Protein backbone atom coordinates (compact mmCIF):
# COMPACT_ATOMS: atom_id res chain seq x y z
CA UNK A 1 0.00 0.00 0.00
CA UNK A 2 1.32 3.43 -0.85
CA UNK A 3 1.17 6.48 1.43
CA UNK A 4 -1.93 7.98 -0.17
CA UNK A 5 -3.90 4.74 0.17
CA UNK A 6 -2.84 4.36 3.83
CA UNK A 7 -3.85 7.95 4.55
CA UNK A 8 -7.20 7.43 2.84
CA UNK A 9 -7.92 4.21 4.77
CA UNK A 10 -6.90 5.86 8.03
CA UNK A 11 -9.15 8.89 7.32
CA UNK A 12 -12.13 6.70 6.44
CA UNK A 13 -11.62 4.68 9.63
CA UNK A 14 -11.40 7.82 11.73
CA UNK A 15 -14.55 9.28 10.15
CA UNK A 16 -16.41 6.01 10.72
CA UNK A 17 -15.38 6.02 14.38
CA UNK A 18 -16.50 9.64 14.78
CA UNK A 19 -19.81 8.80 13.09
CA UNK A 20 -20.47 5.85 15.38
CA UNK A 21 -19.57 7.90 18.45
CA UNK A 22 -21.90 10.69 17.33
CA UNK A 23 -24.74 8.23 16.73
CA UNK A 24 -24.33 6.67 20.18
CA UNK A 25 -24.23 10.03 21.95
CA UNK A 26 -27.15 11.36 19.86
CA UNK A 27 -29.28 8.29 20.67
CA UNK A 28 -28.44 8.49 24.37
CA UNK A 29 -29.46 12.13 24.74
CA UNK A 30 -32.56 11.86 22.57
CA UNK A 31 -33.76 8.76 24.44
CA UNK A 32 -33.11 10.52 27.75
CA UNK A 33 -35.04 13.59 26.56
CA UNK A 34 -37.90 11.39 25.36
CA UNK A 35 -38.13 9.63 28.76
CA UNK A 36 -38.19 13.03 30.48
CA UNK A 37 -41.08 14.17 28.28
CA UNK A 38 -43.00 10.94 28.95
CA UNK A 39 -42.64 11.51 32.69
CA UNK A 40 -43.93 15.07 32.23
CA UNK A 41 -46.85 13.86 30.07
CA UNK A 42 -47.86 11.23 32.65
CA UNK A 43 -47.82 13.84 35.40
CA UNK A 44 -49.98 16.20 33.36
CA UNK A 45 -52.39 13.40 32.39
CA UNK A 46 -52.84 12.52 36.07
CA UNK A 47 -53.76 16.17 36.68
CA UNK A 48 -56.15 16.00 33.71
CA UNK A 49 -54.17 18.78 32.08
CA UNK A 50 -54.62 17.26 28.63
CA UNK A 51 -53.15 20.11 26.62
CA UNK A 52 -49.90 20.06 28.60
CA UNK A 53 -49.81 16.25 28.46
CA UNK A 54 -50.19 16.37 24.69
CA UNK A 55 -47.31 18.85 24.45
CA UNK A 56 -45.14 16.38 26.35
CA UNK A 57 -46.27 13.55 24.06
CA UNK A 58 -45.42 15.61 20.98
CA UNK A 59 -41.95 16.37 22.29
CA UNK A 60 -41.39 12.72 23.26
CA UNK A 61 -42.29 11.61 19.73
CA UNK A 62 -39.99 14.30 18.32
CA UNK A 63 -37.10 12.85 20.30
CA UNK A 64 -38.01 9.20 19.65
CA UNK A 65 -40.47 8.54 16.85
CA UNK A 66 -41.24 4.95 17.80
CA UNK A 67 -41.96 5.59 21.48
CA UNK A 68 -44.73 3.23 22.65
CA UNK A 69 -45.33 5.17 25.87
CA UNK A 70 -45.97 8.37 23.94
CA UNK A 71 -48.56 6.72 21.71
CA UNK A 72 -50.15 5.04 24.73
CA UNK A 73 -50.57 8.36 26.54
CA UNK A 74 -51.82 10.00 23.34
CA UNK A 75 -54.46 7.28 23.07
CA UNK A 76 -55.49 7.83 26.68
CA UNK A 77 -55.92 11.54 26.00
CA UNK A 78 -58.04 10.81 22.92
CA UNK A 79 -60.29 8.55 25.01
CA UNK A 80 -60.57 10.69 28.14
CA UNK A 81 -60.72 14.16 26.62
CA UNK A 82 -62.24 13.74 23.18
CA UNK A 83 -63.88 10.29 23.07
CA UNK A 84 -62.16 10.01 19.69
CA UNK A 85 -62.08 6.22 19.55
CA UNK A 86 -60.73 5.78 15.99
CA UNK A 87 -57.73 8.00 16.78
CA UNK A 88 -57.24 6.30 20.14
CA UNK A 89 -57.32 2.86 18.47
CA UNK A 90 -54.68 4.09 16.00
CA UNK A 91 -52.49 5.31 18.88
CA UNK A 92 -52.88 2.03 20.77
CA UNK A 93 -51.97 0.09 17.62
CA UNK A 94 -48.79 2.17 17.31
CA UNK A 95 -48.03 1.60 21.01
CA UNK A 96 -48.49 -2.16 20.58
CA UNK A 97 -46.38 -2.21 17.40
CA UNK A 98 -43.53 -0.24 18.96
CA UNK A 99 -43.49 -1.94 22.38
CA UNK A 100 -41.02 -4.75 22.99
CA UNK A 101 -43.64 -6.44 25.15
CA UNK A 102 -47.12 -4.93 24.78
CA UNK A 103 -49.00 -4.93 28.07
CA UNK A 104 -52.59 -5.72 29.01
CA UNK A 105 -53.53 -2.04 29.29
CA UNK A 106 -52.64 -1.44 25.63
CA UNK A 107 -54.85 -4.30 24.46
CA UNK A 108 -57.63 -3.37 26.89
CA UNK A 109 -57.82 0.25 25.72
CA UNK A 110 -57.68 -0.71 22.05
CA UNK A 111 -60.36 -3.33 22.67
CA UNK A 112 -62.49 -0.72 24.40
CA UNK A 113 -62.07 1.58 21.39
CA UNK A 114 -63.11 -1.20 19.02
CA UNK A 115 -66.16 -1.86 21.19
CA UNK A 116 -67.15 1.82 21.07
CA UNK A 117 -66.66 1.77 17.27
CA UNK A 118 -68.90 -1.35 17.07
CA UNK A 119 -66.07 -3.51 15.74
CA UNK A 120 -66.90 -6.34 18.11
CA UNK A 121 -64.73 -9.07 16.55
CA UNK A 122 -61.61 -6.94 16.97
CA UNK A 123 -62.75 -5.92 20.45
CA UNK A 124 -63.10 -9.54 21.56
CA UNK A 125 -59.63 -10.43 20.21
CA UNK A 126 -57.94 -7.54 22.03
CA UNK A 127 -59.88 -7.95 25.26
CA UNK A 128 -59.02 -11.65 25.34
CA UNK A 129 -55.32 -10.77 24.87
CA UNK A 130 -55.63 -8.31 27.75
CA UNK A 131 -57.16 -11.03 29.92
CA UNK A 132 -54.44 -13.52 28.97
CA UNK A 133 -51.80 -10.99 30.01
CA UNK A 134 -53.32 -10.60 33.44
CA UNK A 135 -55.64 -7.63 32.93
CA UNK A 136 -58.14 -7.61 35.80
CA UNK A 137 -60.16 -4.40 35.53
CA UNK A 138 -63.89 -4.87 36.15
CA UNK A 139 -64.61 -3.00 32.94
CA UNK A 140 -62.44 -5.48 31.03
CA UNK A 141 -64.89 -8.25 31.86
CA UNK A 142 -67.81 -5.99 31.04
CA UNK A 143 -66.52 -5.01 27.59
CA UNK A 144 -65.50 -8.59 26.78
CA UNK A 145 -68.91 -9.99 27.71
CA UNK A 146 -70.76 -7.16 25.92
CA UNK A 147 -68.65 -7.61 22.77
CA UNK A 148 -69.29 -11.35 22.68
CA UNK A 149 -73.05 -10.88 22.99
CA UNK A 150 -73.08 -8.38 20.12
CA UNK A 151 -71.20 -10.64 17.70
The Cα–Cα gap between 67 and 34 comes to 8
CATH H-level superfamily of 3-149: Tetratricopeptide repeat domain (1.25.40.10)
> What local confidence, expressed as pLDDT, does residue 98 receive?
98
How many CB atoms neighbour CB 115 within 10 A? 22
> What local confidence, expressed as pLDDT, does residue 111 receive?
97
Regions of the chain short of the pLDDT cut 50? none
> What local confidence, expressed as pLDDT, does residue 79 receive?
97
How many CB atoms neighbour CB 129 within 10 A? 18
> What local confidence, expressed as pLDDT, does residue 34 receive?
96
The pTM is what? 0.87
> What local confidence, expressed as pLDDT, does residue 21 receive?
86
Q: Where are the chain's structural domains?
A: 3-149
Output DSSP code: residue 48. Answer: T
| Distance, first Cα to last Cα, the chain | 74
> What local confidence, expressed as pLDDT, does residue 137 receive?
82
> What local confidence, expressed as pLDDT, does residue 15 receive?
82
* 3-state secondary structure string across 51-80: HHHHHHHHHHHHHCCCCHHHHHHHHHHHHH
Amino acid sequence: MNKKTKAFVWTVGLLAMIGVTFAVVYNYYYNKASRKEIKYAKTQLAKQSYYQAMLGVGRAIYYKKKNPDAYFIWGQIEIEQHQNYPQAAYCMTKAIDYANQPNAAMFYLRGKCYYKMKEYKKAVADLQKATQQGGQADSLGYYLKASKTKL
